[in-house]
Structure 1
Amino acid sequence: MTNGRGPVLVAGGTGFVGRRLVATLVEAGYDVRVMTRKPDRHEGPGTAVRGDVGDPGSLAEALRDCSAAYYLVHSLDSADFESRDADAATAFGKAAAGAGVDQIIYLGGLGDDQDALSAHLRSRREVEGLLADAGVPVTVLRAGIIVGHGGISWEITRQLVEHLPAMITPRWVRTRTQPIAVGDVVRYLVGVLDNRDARGKVFEIGGPDVLEYLEMLQRVAAVEGRRLPILPVPLLTPGLSSRWLSFVTDVDTRAGRNLIDSMVNEVVVRDRSVRDVVPFEPMGYDDAVRFALAERAATR
């Protein structure tokens, strides 16, 4: 960056949120390193460097001279994702401390700590603490469903609406959530970088609309001009829902199951302090849906 600070590493820089973040940081003038297991295959912006959170020995070189690091990785598609993510976060936090990194920025998950959190959300909370254990200040942004082309939660929503003539709904469709556009997530991620008011703090982020999952499905259908008849089935459990999901979407079955399990937890912003640190008005749900659909259309 032109201010003389060191490079910014993005772990998970080739993923759904990460690739958008990398492009935005590069455009803003940051020296960005994209950590990937296969740097020779990286074709996007930023400088690809080899690194793997599952291989602690690879992290020191990737983080060398970096002033900040984003941590956007998870193992939701693995059966043992909780232990994998715990080990990876511990290794990354230690490597960042050893490299003299000033700030780690982590994208976690919303959810009330007093609630009986799903394994997925418990893991996200655990990662927050493990990243910070070695002493580097961690800024945490907790989000619910992120709406954007390629995101797993969004793909579940879109494909259910587009592939089913009618929707058989389990109890979790009445759970409230606060979706946020992926572009707004990136704005928050960039806004907390090198921000003294954000160091070592936890923020909750979401769009302006608090919706039940059922309302989200209905509004996607309305945006697309589709009818979506609803048939409530109270006994359709999260486990059965995830198996049914594998028949009507192409989302990874294990990752989908872990996300479906989390849909029993209300994920709504309770603390709006992030608006004082990174002030802007997030996009509404319907507009976020239109942007996601337009981006998908542009890539086909």
Structure 2
Amino acid sequence: MMKNQETKKRPVVALTGASGYIGHHLVNKLTEHADVVALSRNINNKQDTAQVTWRSCDLFSMSDAEKALEGVDFAVYLVHSMKPSAKLTQGSFENMDVILADNFAQAAKKQRLKQIVYLSGIIPENEKLSRHLSSRLEVENILRAYGTPVTTIRAGLIVGPKGSSFPILKKLVKRLPVMVLPKWTRTKTHPIALPDVLTALDKSIGNQTLSNRAIDIGGPEIMSYKEMMRQTTEVMGLRRKMINVPFLTVKLSRLWVSLTTNSPKEMVYPLIESLTHPMTAKPEHMDEEISFGKITFKQSVHQTLQEEKQNAKERKSVMKPNAPSIQQDVRSVQRIPLPAGKDADWVSNYYMIWLHQLIHPFLKIEVDETNEYSIQTRLLSLPLLTFRYSEDRSTVNRSLYYITGGAFENKAENKRGRLEFRRIPHSDECIVAIHDYLPSLPWFIYRYTQAKAHLWVMYQFHKHLMKLEVHPPNNPILVTTET
């Protein structure tokens, strides 16, 4: 080959949430100029192409995240954990998102990624943020915590099929001939069409002028939610009577919206709580090249409805795959305070000592020379649960224990069960999480006994840490010798 005929190597972009509604569309756009590593928890029905390689990845696992980002130059982070991630999920979406973002950011550092592009929401200034927006901002800060350059694209309501906010609005318009509109429906927002969001994400990859910046994006119009409903009815060819009321609160609204649209409250509640904020792009946070969407709201609604019709036709012509078997797994995640000057390694050791004292005199905790901890009955010394400390996967900011046995564990099925203590970057808080735990008890009994007991224990531990003095005990050691 002649020197002047050498081809330039295409960048490799990892795309989280590649099977989601934004990720699915973004894959096609990225392959025009890059090779894509498409990440998803389930890739059974996915096929690789010349430009797309599918990798199975559970981002709750740091080792999975590290393997997923091997050989990657850039990454697009589209993850959000509003939906349950296990058969029994105990914990808030905010705490789930901490783990996902922290695993991803640490893996990006290890694999030396050049940039993470993160899709977030517009953050109002000088206001107390909703849980949803607070979580979006916390995730942004965690992604930045390990040194990889991060470009955050902040959007308001994204108009597209299979999303979160717009499908809810469309269902309200379709199902309610008379619409009672509370005060929050007059709040201003900045809707943007899905194609404009895809363009902003695509143009951000490798764009060094946007490194470590947060960019607001929006469509050509700023309008209220009421106006969006009105225009949606026009596009759908419907007539709806709209009545303004001053008394329907956000708490009542979220219940009303969930019931009316038949949407899960885990998704609806955080979104409705955010609607009290004016979600408009701010000029000082906008970029000339990527911030200004071109598609009007009416055009975007029309395009979305057309795409939904086409998708419905395609679904009818394709046989549905067999549903995967449901694993009876558990994920339980809680946030606890971290005493001054202490780290995750300290709090994990202290937890074992505290738990040993809490369960006395009925149970006990013993630890052997291999760092395996065993929760046992006192009379028979029957192990109920055993945990082995993973020294090679732990740091001062993350202590990891693999669940290795005991009467309460499903020995035949357990492969990845683990307990971890993780410090949230740049904070005085810690996450305690159980992942992929498979109990041996019958499911109904487990849910209302062992699962409830774990939540009670974590609540008590949280209270205990709050009461600790500013200088808690140093170097805790679990004493197992019986007196």
TM-score over 0.5 for the pair: yes
Deviation at 1:182, TM superposition (A): 0.5
Moved over 3 A (4+): 272-275, 277-281
Alignment of 1:120-135 (within 5 A): 120-135=132-147
- In structure 2, the partner of 1:24 is 29
Alpha-carbon distance between aligned partners in 2 of 1:117 and 1:3, rounded to the nearest angstrom:
45
User: Match of 1:138?
Assistant: 150
Match of 2:80? Answer: 74
Deviation at 1:155, TM superposition (A): 0.4
Deviations along 1:145-188, one digit per CA (max 9) or x if unpaired, are 00011111010111111111110112110111000001110000
Instruction: Answer yes or no: is the 8 Å Cα contact 2:10–2:33 preserved in 1.
Output: no
Tell me if 1:7 matches 2:41. no
Change (3 A) 1:32 1:127: same
Matched, 1:33 2:37: yes
Counterpart AA for 2:171: Q
Distance (whole Å) between structure 2 residues aligned to residue 249 and residue 267 of structure 1: 23
Number of residue pairs matched by the alignment: 298
Partner deviation per Cα, 1:87-123 (whole Å, 9 max, x = no partner): 2111111100100100000000002131111000010
Cα offset, 1:246, TM superposition: 2.3
Q: Compute the displacement of 1:5 (Å).
A: 4.8
Relative to structure 2, which stretch is displaced further, 5-14 or 176-185?
A: 5-14
The answer to whether the 8 Å contact 2:94/2:135 transfers is: yes
What 5-or-longer segments of structure 1 have no aligned partner? none
Deviation of 1:31 after TM superposition, in Å, equals 0.7
Structure 2: runs of 5+ lacking an equivalent = 1-6, 85-90, 313-483
Aligned equivalent of 2:70: 64
| Greater helix fraction, Structure 1 or Structure 2 | 1
Higher RCO (Cα < 8 Å, 6 or more apart):
1
Equivalent pair of 2:189/2:222 in contact (CA under 8 Å): yes
Distance 1:169 1:128 in 2: 33
- Residue identity opposite 1:42 in structure 2: K
Could you give the per-residue CA deviations for residues 256-288 of structure 1, whole angstroms, max 9, x where no partner exists? 111001001110011366442437652111101
Give the partner amino acid of 2:278. E
What SS is found at the alignment partner of 1:139? strand
Task: Please give the alpha-carbon distance, in whole angstroms, between the structure 2 residues aligned to 1:271 and 1:53.
Answer: 35
Structure 2: how far apart are the matches of 1:113 and 1:42?
Answer: 42
Out of 227, 232, 243, the position equivalent to 1:231 is 243
| 1:241 paired residue number | 253
DSSP-derived class of the 1:38 partner: coil
Structure 2 residue corresponding to 1:253, chosen from 265, 276, 293: 265
2-structure distance, mates of 1:126, 1:279: 22
Residues 75 and 85 of structure 1 are in contact (CA less than 8 Å); yes or no, is this contact kept in structure 2? yes
User: Could you give the per-residue CA deviations for residues 209-263 of structure 1, whole angstroms, max 9, x where no partner exists?
Assistant: 1011001000101112211111223221122112112222132221011100100
Secondary structure of the structure 2 residue equivalent to 1:251: coil
Which of 49, 61, 84 is matched with 2:96 structurally? 84
Deviates further, 227-236 or 120-129: 227-236
SS in 2 for 1:41: coil
Partner Cα separation in structure 2 for residue 185 and residue 43 of structure 1: 26
Moved more, 246-255 or 132-141: 246-255
Higher-strand-fraction structure: 2
1:54 alignment partner, one of 55, 60, 63: 60
Larger of the two Rg values belongs to structure: 2
User: Aligned to 2:159, which of 147, 172, 182?
Assistant: 147
Q: Is the 8 A contact 1:147 1:288 kept in 2?
A: yes
Q: What amino acid sits opposite 1:230 in the alignment?
A: M
Measured in 1, the distance between the counterparts of 2:290 and 2:261 equals 36
Correspondence list, 1:179-258, <5 A: 179-258=191-270
Structure 1 counterpart of 2:43, which letter? Answer: P
Q: Which moved more, 1:155-164 or 1:2-11?
A: 2-11
TM-score (norm 2): 0.60
Q: Write the letter of the residue equivalent to 2:294.
A: P
TM-score by length of 1: 0.94
**Aligned residues of 1:53 and 1:88 also touching (Cα < 8 A):** yes
Distance in 2 separating the partners of 1:262 and 1:189: 23
Q: Decide which moves more: 194-203 or 181-190.
A: 194-203
Q: Distance in 1 between matches of 2:283 and 2:38?
A: 31
Amino acid at match of 1:93: A
Which of 88, 106, 111 is residue 123 of structure 2 equivalent to?
111
Kept in 2: contact 1:6–1:65 (CA 8 A): no
Alpha carbons 2:14, 2:75 under 8 Å: kept: yes
1:42 is displaced (CA, Å) by: 2.3
Q: What is the CA RMSD across the aligned residues, in angstroms?
A: 1.7
Q: Residues 152 and 251 of structure 1 are in contact (CA less than 8 Å); yes or no, is this contact kept in structure 2?
A: no
Q: Which residue is equivalent to 2:409?
A: none
Query: Cα 1:44–1:257, aligned 2, differ >3 Å: closer, same or farther?
Result: farther
- CA distance in 2 between partners of 1:109 and 1:226 (Å): 30
Query: CA separation in 2, counterparts of 1:56 and 1:235?
Result: 47
Which letter does structure 2 place at the counterpart of 1:62? A
